[in-house]
Amino acid sequence: MSFYVIIPARFGSERLPGKVLLDIVGKTMLQHTYEQAMKSGARQIVIATDDNRIRKSAQGFGAEVFMTSAQHRSGTERIQQVITEMGLDSNEVVVNVQADEPLIPPSAIDRVAKNLRESESVGISTLCELITNNSEVNDPNAVKVVMNKNNEALYFSRACIPYNSGKNQKSYYRHIGIYAYKVEVLHQFVRWPVSELEYSENLEQLRALQNGIKIHVDISTDIIPAGVDTEKDLEVVRRTLSRANNALP
């Protein structure tokens, strides 16, 4: 199975500036993410950035880097520029791995790529997991998703979906922000304007749904730690990787 991984990386971050270059047990966050992606079955792994500090760091640990426009509004637009410059065919599969996911399981990367390859009618694939912590159900930072019987997304929301009427016990699923795209869908996506639902929820994937793109959502069998958005998240990852390093023979 052939697919590509592109890691969009920017220096700016409202809550944790320069986070992708912060140190985590001797390596930058970006290097940890890149090394996890290297363990996947990807044919090629590329870092896409508009920042020379990130370029220099990434090239220092041997990564291939594409410099992109500073005008991009999202990592998706950054990825689309890279696949255009790479000249990828329209039927190729590209996985978007966020640069602030230093603990991303390689199997999760492989899984979204495989699911997209095997689902001819969909243009994007992603993952979700069952919510086991009730505090996340009404937490707007935990994005919820509902699917049809074919595991295709019906809707994503920061609100509680489905609504709990109290009539029976419901299962809630948290969306995990890793995506595999068909190249032709990425080229279409960046030409569409921001949709009303996307603007309301601040969820980019709703632009695809509103334009008729089917999104396959698989329930992850891996435990996928949350990405790093805050100093608290960073310390959790540092402790996790420090314990892992200490456990090595």
* Structure confidence by residue, pLDDT tens digits, 98-153: 999 998 999 999 999 999 999 889 999 999 999 988 888 888 988 999 999 999 99
How would you write 27-70 as a 3-class SS string? EEHHHHHHHHHHCCCCCEEEEEECCHHHHHHHHHCCCEEEECCC
Q: Report the CATH number at residue 18.
A: 3.90.550.10
Total number of domains constituting the chain: 1
Average per-residue pLDDT for the chain: 91
What is the predicted pLDDT for the residue at 232? 84
Tell whether 234 is covered by a domain.
Answer: no
Q: What is the pLDDT of residues 184-235, one digit of tens each?
A: 999 999 999 999 999 999 999 999 999 999 999 999 988 887 778 778 888 8
What is the rounded end-to-end Cα distance, in angstroms, of the chain?
33
Tell whether 21 is covered by a domain.
Answer: yes
Q: What is the pLDDT of residues 14-30, one digit of tens each?
A: 778 888 998 988 899 99
Tell whether 146 is covered by a domain.
Answer: yes
In angstroms, the CA 226 to CA 237 distance is: 9
- pTM, 2 dp: 0.91
